[in-house]
Structure 1
Amino acid sequence: MTESQANDVLVSFRGVQKSYDGENLIVKDLNLDIRKGEFLTLLGPSGSGKTTSLMMLAGFETPTAGDILLGGRSLNRLPPHKRDIGMVFQNYALFPHMTVAENLAFPLSVRGMSRTDSKERVKRALSMVQLDDFRNRYPGQLSGGQQQRVALARALVFEPQLVLMDEPLGALDKQLREHMQMEIKHLHQRLGVTVVYVTHDQGEALTMSDRVAVFHEGQIQQIADPRSLYEEPHNTFVANFIGENNRLNGRLVSQDGDRCVVSLERGEQVEALAVNVGQQGAPVTLSIRPERVRLNGSSETCRNRFSGRVAEFIYLGDHVRVRLEVCGKSDFFVKQPIAELDSALAVGDVVPIGWQIEHVRALDPLLEGH
């Protein structure tokens, strides 16, 4: 890391571990730098260590080993209220007996701010989340989306350098959740505050983040911008967890630089990008995104060509997922925009399919149970 990048780092996890029973590590040797002003999402299935990492940063959990630094200072002995960190939870955690304005003023009074300054800050925070007219209402008189906005304003009202959000939109319905995703993203862009966001929803992570850290079994599997994560997964777990993914199992026949040949279980051969492979003869999982598979005539230019039997059409409005039987697998999916779908295609048809070498990644073998 260059010196200017080092100066840009707001939070550092250094060799951080967390165990509740002294044996099993929920977080294993976490090393992570979070840059000033970035929107970083910790993404992973439940139990992967993402929330525990966030709670250690907030001060609600203590690391078993390692160090967490904020602005170059160790947080290990600093209580939560002295960390200059705003928090937004899924359950809002608003005080039901206080009005919206009082809820927002609370973190300011705890910090000893004068009433005049406090009033001004509350007013600013309310207009930031477009709730100026709701200052005298109680949380019980607000909808879920409005309560979430109040929780957001309360986390931002004392102008912290860092805001942590733990599944903040989990309780909202799909449409409202998508609306709030954009609101939070735009607020972040306007304020330039650093946000660390926890979710298990990969669509949310891809939509909102500058970078995403994918957690699995207490470790970061990959950290990258959303596009790289989706298009260039480093291992099979990331390929499966982010977006839809076709998997074909085989063995490595040969490797030449970043290209390789893989033999599938029934003997078919596939040319692929060698991303994460072992020795010749070692098992490999091939990863191909459904939207990268070409059907019928458009498959003619592809290096990898096979035939597939159409098993099912799944209509999704703007696109159709076609389930095919390919290379002995009954759940191989192709994603087709409605405008490109051949209306004559029917269940039972056997069609040529193909994909380019750069769209198939040879990765580590998929372990049973994952």
Structure 2
Amino acid sequence: MTATNNDVLVSFRGVQKTYDGASLIVKNLNLDIRRGEFLTLLGPSGSGKTTSLMMLAGFETPTAGEITLDGKRLNNVPPHKRDIGMVFQNYALFPHMTVAENVAFPLTVRGMNKVDVADKVRHALSMVQLDAFGGRYPTQISGGQQQRVALARALVFEPQLVLMDEPLGALDKQLREHMQMEIKHIHQRLGVTVVYVTHDQGEALTMSDRVAVFHNGEIQQIADPRSLYEHPCNTFVAQFIGENNRLPGRLVHRDGELCTVELARGEKVRALAVNVGQPGQPVTLSIRPERVRLNGATQQMENRFSGRIAEFIYLGDHVRIRLDVCGESNFFIKQPISQLEPGLAVGDVIPLGFPIEHVRALDASPGVAATASKPAAELVAA
């Protein structure tokens, strides 16, 4: 559904950024951020996500294009006049100020009277469950508590937009997961618009209303977490979001939304034709490990092959099974422990299969040339 003008809080139009005048870090960004949503900019290092956030914050200037906030052009507005809260990975707390003074800082620089400041600080610290910590200094509280202080400081002046740049990157796994839910719940309570940057795809899927996947300075796909995971539009997104099995092959023919792909050793696979070229051209098949079935569960499947078990990887609630399948030695199946057949052993050759609706034919992986058993000309004729 297309957002109306009233729904859009932030808009990027034709935004580019270069530091050397030659290579573009952000190529041609067109993006609408909806009022009240939690949008995550996700991608590997150097993909343009943090640069895009910093241009929105005012710490970087676009080389070309326009950024607007609530309909007002931001390009030449200094950071402190943008009415934007900011949370950094390193917290950026003032060590000589108490927790309460740190949270109060955005209010005091705006000239608010002391009574109102004290009331808002109390409310903000209560929101992040630090009511009793106002008199402490940053060095006297834990890393997770410091991050909560930074969050309270970003929210205390009630900005319409909060930007978060890898805010949980310095925390250990358990605390990081706890803070993910804290931030998500605070967002849900306040309804503030959040733009969040991370390279952690699990974090993005957990917290976001929508995720924009960046690669090489461009958005590859923007969608809700489930759509990104279940319906990636290209090989990069399929590989970057969650675990993914890739099988290189060549397109034999296309029949509407379905297609037939031939693998390197001649096996044929029926798949959804999501992002494919002409018959004879290379494609990559994408299959999620949890969508693969074994033994008796494969009997009615059109895509049915055999695989040799190479390794079991025990992960507590589930097990990952690595197999040699169709010439690929790193084909994984993910099964809940409760569903694992006890008699399976390394070296067993077993039937496996995957439904057509869970196999996606996508663009060929960069640098991977699929070699089918027939030449391209013969495949075109087929």
Q: What is the letter of the counterpart of residue 139 of structure 1? A: P
**What is the correspondence of 1:286-305 to structure 2 with a 5 Å cutoff?**
286-305=285-304
Secondary structure in 2 matching 1:297? helix
TM-score (structure 1 length as normaliser): 0.99
Where in structure 2 are the equivalents of 1:40-55 lying within 5 Å? 40-55=39-54
- Aligned equivalent of 1:78: 77
Alpha-carbon separation, structure 2, partners of 1:113 and 1:25: 42
The reply on whether 1:325 has 2:324 as its aligned counterpart is yes
Matched to 1:43, the amino acid is L
CA drift at 1:303: 1.3
Shift of 1:18: 0.3
The match for 2:374 is: none
Distance 2:288 2:343 in 1: 24
Q: What CA distance in whole angstroms lies between the structure 2 residues aligned with 1:5 and 1:60?
A: 28
Match of 1:126 in 2: 125
In the alignment, what sits opposite 1:359? 358
Cα distance in structure 2, aligned partners of 1:37 and 1:113? 26
Using the alignment, how far apart are the partners of 1:201 and 1:104 within structure 2?
Answer: 28
Q: How many residue pairs align between the two structures?
A: 368
One-letter amino acid matched to 2:117: S
Equivalent residue of 1:213, what SS? Answer: strand
- TM-score (structure 2 length as normaliser): 0.95
| Superposition deviation, residue 77 in structure 1 | 0.8
Equivalent AA in structure 2 for residue 233 of structure 1: P
Identify unmatched segments of 5+ residues in structure 2.
369-382
Q: Give the letter for the 1:265 counterpart.
A: A
Return the alpha-carbon distance in structure 2 between the equivalents of residues 303 and 199 of structure 1.
Answer: 39
| Residues 1:196 and 2:195 aligned together | yes
Per-residue CA distance 1:118-166 (angstroms, 9 max, x = gap): 1111010010001010000000001000000000000000000000000
Counterpart for residue 269 of structure 2: 270
Counterpart residue number, 2:379? none
Q: How do residues 102-117 of structure 1 correspond to structure 2 at under 5 angstroms?
A: 102-117=101-116
In structure 1, what residue type is equivalent to 2:111?
G
Q: Distance in 2 between matches of 1:105 and 1:357?
A: 57
Q: Deviations over 1:88-139 (max 9, x none)?
A: 0000000000000100111101111111111111010010001010000000
Matched residues in 1 for 2:44 and 2:344: separation? 37
Q: Which amino acid aligns with 1:84?
A: D
Residue 6 (structure 1) shift: 1.7
Q: One-letter code of the match for 1:295?
A: L
Q: CA RMSD in A?
A: 0.9
CA distance in 2: counterparts of 1:230 and 1:301, whole angstroms = 26
Matches within 5 A, 1:216-231: 216-231=215-230
Q: Tell me, in whole angstroms, the C-alpha distance in 1 between the residues paired with 2:365 and 2:121.
A: 52
Matches within 5 A, 1:158-237: 158-237=157-236
- Aligned partner letter, 1:266: R
Distance 2:328 2:75 in 1: 51
Q: Distance in 1 between matches of 2:245 and 2:126?
A: 46
Instruction: State, as a whole percentage, how many aligned pairs show the same letter.
Output: 80
Which letter maps to 1:115? K
Residue deviations 1:253-303 (CA, integer Å, cap 9, x gap): 000100000000110000000000000101000000000000111111211
Work out the CA distance in 1 between the residues paired with 2:330 and 2:76.
52
What residue is the counterpart of 2:371 in the other structure?
Answer: none
Cα distance in structure 2, aligned partners of 1:112 and 1:234:
49
Report the residue type matching 1:194 in the other structure. T
Cα deviation, residue 194, structure 1? 0.1
- Gaps of at least 5 residues in structure 1 are none
Alignment partner, residue 98 of structure 2: 99
CA distance in 1, matches of 2:127, 2:321: 44
CA distance in 1, matches of 2:184, 2:165: 15
Name the amino acid aligned to 1:173: D
Query: Which amino acid in 1 is paired with 2:7?
Result: D
Q: Find the residue that maps to 2:351 and give its secondary structure.
A: strand
Which amino acid counterpart does residue 31 of structure 1 have in structure 2?
A: N
